Amino acid sequence: MSDRPIVVAGAGGFIGGHLVARLQTEGRRVRAVDIKPLSEWYQVFDEAENVVADLKVREECQRVCAGAGEVYQLAADMGGMGFIEHHKGLCMLSVLTNTHMLLAAVDAGVSRFFYSSSACVYAADKQLSPDVAPLKESDAYPAMAEDGYGWEKLFSERMCRHFREDFGLATRVARYHNVYGPHGTWEGGREKAPAAICRKVIHAKHRREPAIEIWGDGSQTRSFMYIDDCIRGTLAIAGSEILEPINLGSSELVTVNQLVDIVEEIAGIKLRRSYNLGAPKGVNGRNSDNTMIRRELGWEPSIRLRDGMERTYRWIHDEYVRKYGD
């Protein structure tokens, strides 16, 4: 185990914060990096070297990668469907971060570079029905990625491949499928469906307004992976010899309506539902085919959706009360 620091780019965000926490428990030396002021990071660890830097700037990437042994490139301008639907240009600008981090990693001689891609790279014509077949890694081509965010991720996957081929940088890529859990965004427009639904149910319960708005008709399907499983899979992929992008997600498929059912049950409340058919809802169906990761790493999600959602709900509830009161 090298004593050179591990760079976690995007450490002030949801997944990055949990990754730093895990690496800290393993006694690793971590350089945590994010563009946000330290006061806005979801998790801050005094034992880490905490750095505020704009990684769209090449010189900043060189600064944070200097002397590093490994890089986990999670930094991106992104959010839930409401954000990525209306900010395609901002999402595409993450290409700057990925490119400059790859260049800086080569210059620094890092031993391994992990890149967090997304299931949004998958071809739209394979996600037209709620009864979607699980998406295999090969389904990303012929390319028809989600506009903006998905194309940025797919392009950056190719960058990782060619930096491995041309510069000898050991790159590893995981395609995340809908990660959720505590210590993440739960309001403000960048939150994803599990957190947004938790917040809406909590708000309805506290305000005694027994109604909830659902984006789309509620029949769209997704699978959701709890953050602990995501971190475990991330570290396994980063340390593996898997050269091509690989799925990292749950295959427990549910509709948005069923996700609302779960949160209502946790909250002990039943709400009247209205459906906003004009709101961003993404593809009609998306699920992860885990054949490759089971075969290569023996990885399976260990936390059921119901259990993970209860933990997430409790954390968001406490945050809601802290901010808005009872």
CA-closest candidate to residue 106, choices 165, 154, 157, 26 = 165
State residue 181's pLDDT score: 98
| Mean local confidence (pLDDT), 288-310 | 97
For 182-223+252-288+304-324, which CATH class?
A: alpha beta
pLDDT band at 84 (very low <50, low <70, confident <90, very high): low
- Residue range 230-279, pLDDT digits in tens: 999 999 999 999 999 999 999 999 999 999 999 999 999 999 999 999 88
Mean pLDDT, the chain, rounded, equals 94
pTM: 0.94
pLDDT above 80 (res 122): yes
Separation between Cα atoms, residue 144 and residue 298, nearest integer Å: 30
pLDDT at position 81 is 63
245 prior amide bond cis, ω within 30 = no
Residue-level pLDDT at 67: 97
pLDDT at 102 over 90: yes
Q: What pLDDT sits at residue 80?
A: 61
- Identical fold for domains 6-179+226-248 and 182-223+252-288+304-324, yes or no, is no
Poorest-pLDDT segment among 46-55, 76-85, 148-157: 76-85
For 167-199, the pLDDT digits (tens) are 999 999 999 999 999 999 999 888 889 999 999
Q: Which CATH architecture has domain 6-179+226-248?
A: 3-Layer(aba) Sandwich (3.40)
Q: What is the residue-wise DSSP string for 184-230?
A: S--SSS---HHHHHHHHHHHHHHHT--EEEEES-S--EEE-EEHHHH
Query: Which of 169 and 127 is assigned the larger pLDDT?
Result: 169
Every domain of the chain and the residues it spans: 6-179+226-248, 182-223+252-288+304-324
pLDDT per residue over 203-217, tens digit each? 999 999 899 999 999
The pLDDT assigned to 130 comes to 84
Give me the catalytic one of 149, 176, 180, 320.
149
Beta bridge partners of 9: 33, 73
- Does the annotation count 72 as an active-site position? no
Confidence (pLDDT) at 82: 66
The bridge status of strand 70-73 relative to strand 49-52 is unpaired
